[in-house]
Amino acid sequence: MIHCEGLVKIYKTADLEVVALQGLDLTVEDGELMAIIGNSGSGKSTLLNMLGGLDKPSAGKLRVGERDLLTFRERELVAYKRELVGFVWQNNARNLIPYLTALENVELPMLLRGKRRRERAKELLEAVGLGGKTRNRLSELSGGEQQRVAIAIALANGPRLLLADEPTGSLDSRTSEQVLDLFRELNRKTGITIVIVTHDPLLARKVDRVVQIRDGKTSAEILRKGQGNVEHGQAEWGPDEPEEDSHIEYAVLDKAGRLQIPAGYLKDGGFHRSNKVRVEVEEGKIVLYPPDQGTS
């Protein structure tokens, strides 16, 4: 569904250049449910904006489905945003129109495409658990309910890709878990590809894969173990394999052979005293040592 290769984004002002992404590589399979994490300024929201057609890369390759986003003209970008991708923002003011009812909010994207599908809007609100609140205005809905309306809006035109930028950032932990469960349920039932940018630690237990971005590059992945569902790429767990403890963490090796190692590992291993490491190949394994440590 998504293929990024050597993706670069540079923001320029009159006297300043900011490199938000510097050679990022990422592949997301069709039907995958995954999260992107990283510190503020790491480039994760920049990446999401480019996937959503809201910003253009400075260099590299970016394909979503069969579409090459680097070659898009403005008209093609508009069609892409209307037809292929749905977006859920953290701030509900960007998702919803306050003087409309929940039902009217969900109908609006369909009206913009020249369609009026009230029954489809009702079905979507039912799917996100708000079938009994179609006529409620935003002031009559809780924060979690408003975010559910936002998810229904993002699904209104039947996108193949759903992007969510900190969708639980303004919610309490219980409501956050409900919203994340909803993403997972939608992914399993419909096979839609979902990419979530978040700081929420609950995500590791709710998605199939977590990708960490550091300094504008993918630096680590956490993959959930379990036998994959062939149709939608979902992981399934048995009764003896708890979801929250069932994962493997990988560091990402880029095409130039560069590897980013988490700072905590370096400190625990005594590497923090120098900017060098000694590399040895032992029995088919690459082993890193502090420069002053022997190989015994």
Give the tens place of pLDDT for each residue, 70-81.
888 889 988 888
Whole-angstrom distance, CA of residue 240 vs CA of residue 37: 28
Cβ atoms of residues 187 and 33 within 8 Å: yes
Tokens of 285: 């394994």
Quote the pLDDT of residue 236: 43
Q: Maximum Cα–Cα distance for the chain, whole Å?
A: 73
User: Domains plus CATH for the chain?
Assistant: 2-84+159-256 (3.40.50.300), 261-296 (no CATH)
Check: CB of residue 53 under 8 Å from CB of residue 71: no
How far is 22 from 216, CA to CA, in rounded Å?
Answer: 5
DSSP code string of 246-285: -EEEEEPB-TT--B---HHHHHHTTGGG-S--EEEEETTE
38-71 core/surface letters (b: 16 or more CB in 10 A; e: else): beeebbbbbbbbbbbbebebbebebebeebebee
Q: At what angle do helices 118-127 and 143-154 cross, to 10 degrees?
A: 130
Measured distance CA(52)–CA(19) in Å, rounded = 19
Residue 42 near residue 215, CB atoms below 8 Å: yes
Residue 161: per-residue pLDDT: 95
Closest CA to 191 of 31, 1, 30, 28: 31
Q: Say what the alpha-carbon torsion angle 18, 22, 25, 30 is, to the nearest 10 degrees.
A: 10
Condensed to tens digits (0 to 9), the pLDDT of residues 39-63 reads 887 888 899 999 999 888 899 999 9
What is the pLDDT at residue 226?
Answer: 52
What SS3 class is residue 17?
Answer: strand
Picking from 3, 52, 57, 1, the residue whose alpha carbon sits closest to that of residue 27 is 3
Q: How far apart are CA 181 and CA 163, in angstroms?
A: 16
Which residues of the chain, if any, have pLDDT below 70?
114-116, 201, 204, 225-247, 262-264, 269, 294-296
What would the pLDDT profile of 188-226 be if each residue is shown by its tens digit?
Answer: 999 999 999 987 767 767 888 999 888 888 788 887 765
Contacts (Cβ under 8 Å, ≥6 apart) of 207: 33, 34, 35, 184, 196, 224
